[in-house]
Amino acid sequence: MQETPEPAASGPVMIATWPFGKLAVDAAAEKVAAGGSGLDGIEEGIRLIESLGSDGSVGLAGRPNAAGYPQLDACIVEGPTRGAGSVGGMEGIVHPITAARRVMDSSRHVMLVGEGARWFALEQGLETVDVSDLAAKKAAWVARDRDPEEPAEKGHDTITLLMLDGNGDLYGGCSTSGAGGKLPGRVGDSPILGAGLFVDNEVGAAGATGVGENVMRYSATTVIVEMMRQGMHPQEACEAMVHRIAAVDPLGYQLDVCFIAIDKQGRTGAAASNQRFPFAVGAGGRSEVRSVEAVERP
Ligand code: ASP
């Protein structure tokens, strides 16, 4: 069971995926300490990871798709207003998390994808890169893909950041370039509300990383939040979700999924199906990287 962090009154309590999540937690804490809202904190923390291209899996430095260029997914949720915005399969925008926030703040919609998401982000004046070289990148990728010396560009990760702020409100966000080598147009779990991220301001928030297909087929983060609503500790709920999927999925525990969660009391949890899963927690102005081993199989 994860140790219960400091009470929310001492500032935001956060949990984030992977060791790079610590950078996001620290940046978010700094933003909130400087007077930003919980949502500002989430956006700031995730923007940092997008800028760093951490682990080659977030932002434009992330892993390319099968055609050789990154298509980005992101999502942001504001618990107290029940607001949400997301973008899927978007090309050439430096900060997908900000695009997601603009969808929430400046459109009547929740989700925009592909060309439309890019057009909206450009119309909002967001930072972009030239994407006129996508055809050339595709050609280079095809050549590379045929070279037996070149390792396949597989792998994937997501920055997912969850926060309970000092007012007891919940926020969440996530951003990823998705699964390396994915088909162009593939959208993962991250921008799908209730799959890669779910926030319920009455109960808690949950987020995911790993093979998105194995998360979204089970609306995993919605179910984790519902389990917390029924009284489960976030740790129990994350583990129960892994077991629940593994019990019925043809892959069993070979799911490559990891979950994080936080509840309204600021208690946190994390679980992984079949690997060691490092994640970051922050509370009371301090942060650290922790890890869990793959869940114990029954
Ligand atoms: N969930 C992401 C996706 O499938 C990748 C990851 O988090 O590893 O797009």
Atom number, ligand 1, closest to the C-alpha of residue 209: 7
Measured over the CA atoms of residue 178, residue 190, residue 268 and residue 240, the dihedral's sign is negative
For the record, the structure tokens of 164 come out as 């309970």
Q: Which of 20, 156, 218, 221 to mutate to test the pocket of ligand 1 (most atoms within 8 A of CB)?
A: 156
Asked if residue 209 has pLDDT above 80, the reply is yes
Angle between helices 38-52 and 21-33 (to 10 degrees): 140
**The length of the chain, given as a count of residues:** 298
Contacts of 243 (CB under 8 A, 6+ apart): 295, 298
Closest residue CA from atom 4 of ligand 1: 212
**Residue 179: predicted pLDDT:** 80
Q: Is 261 in the pocket of ligand 1 (CB under 6 A)?
A: no
Residue 158 catalytic? yes
For the record, the structure tokens of 235 come out as 């740790």
Q: Is 200 in the pocket of ligand 1 (CB under 6 A)?
A: no
**pLDDT, tens digit (0-9, with 9 covering 90-100), for 126-166:** 999 887 776 666 666 566 655 655 555 567 789 999 999 99
Asked if residue 9 has pLDDT above 80, the reply is no
Rounded CA separation 51/49 (Å): 5
Q: How far is Cα of residue 244 from the mean position of the Cα atoms in its chain?
A: 21
Contacts of 202 (CB under 8 A, 6+ apart): 229, 264
Q: Is 212 in the pocket of ligand 1 (CB under 6 A)?
A: yes
**Which of these is catalytic: 17, 98, 128, 158?**
158
Distance 35 CA to ligand 1 centre (A): 32
Distance 179 CA to ligand 1 centre (A): 6
Give me the domains of the chain, ranges plus CATH numbers. 13-130+152-292 (3.60.20.30)
Q: Is 189 in the pocket of ligand 1 (CB under 6 A)?
A: yes
Task: Quote the percentage of the chain above a pLDDT of 70.
Answer: 88
pLDDT class for 61, splitting at 50, 70, 90? Answer: confident
Distance 10 CA to ligand 1 centre (A): 32
Closest residue CA from atom 9 of ligand 1: 178
**Residue 3: predicted pLDDT:** 52
Atom number, ligand 1, closest to the C-alpha of residue 213: 4
Atom number, ligand 1, closest to the C-alpha of residue 215: 1
> Residue 35: which region, alpha, beta or left (left: phi > 0; alpha: psi -120 to 50)?
left
pLDDT class for 7, splitting at 50, 70, 90? Answer: very low
Measured over the CA atoms of residue 197, residue 188, residue 113 and residue 63, the dihedral's sign is positive
**Residue 8: predicted pLDDT:** 45
Average pLDDT, integer, range 98-125: 97
